[in-house]
Structure 1
């Protein structure tokens, strides 16, 4: 009798898991994009993000993890000195809490990215007045958060293109500013969804 009950429970569990798998409509996705950023100067870069849906509702909350990197290769100058051959870089890792509105081919994503802004500057410091050159390196780390809006157009079940925008709600002394760009999204749909789409 105990063996029969165990087999029935195992069969029920397998049925539930199979049903949930076949009804899975929201799946994880990976985004890549190119962007421009900055306040005082324009920076150029890119980003990657992994998104996880938190429910199977048509409109649902999401959790994402992203890394943004952008660069400025224009030398900086002060009254007495300037940098040459320099790279001014921002690395911004964040966790993103968001909400996704889904229509036929349009998806609207609203997010609050929370993370760090790492400002790294390296180059050669030159002071022609006193005649010296030396290697220069500086790194600053700041808390970073803001608002992000990303409308997307679904090309098919697995691919989307869209825009990406981020507005920081905190100012740091390295001017880690706004970001705007274009993105491509690859959704990892399960086998049942791909079959349903064919």
Structure 2
């Protein structure tokens, strides 16, 4: 695995540190008035989800890990485990539903999701950035209400609450941005 300097760490990098695999969540480069510059890095453990704040100086060397990405199809959920199938080999993989966090409700049957592996161990999964959902409950459409930046609350079919523009009604299909958890457009 390649070694990188402490000042080359970027958000999203996966590092081998203290015997575990950590993803860099947030990186701040700090130049104090006294002493050398360093990178203040917030790390998240890919195996158990714990967090760690660490300082890396430019002279520090860390192992950068490259994860293998595979497109896998979601099959079903069983006792807090999400079951995915490799569409090429038909092998099945289990991943804890907690890994997806608040994006878990957007996983739909048959959806293709990118799963990241490190030496045949599934570590994380990424939901597509845009997902189509149906509005289950919202206030009725009011004609003439076209004020800019006005939104109304809505509940989606998966139970997630988001804000939608006033012209969107109940039973309509919309596209939701899963990164920002917000309305994107009509489907």
For the aligned pair, the TM-score class normalised by the smaller chain equals: under 0.3
- 1 or 2, which has the higher helix percentage? 1
Structure with larger RCO (C-alpha < 8 A, sep 6+): 1
Greater radius of gyration (CA)? 1
- 1 or 2, which has the higher strand percentage? 1
TM-score using structure 2 length: 0.26
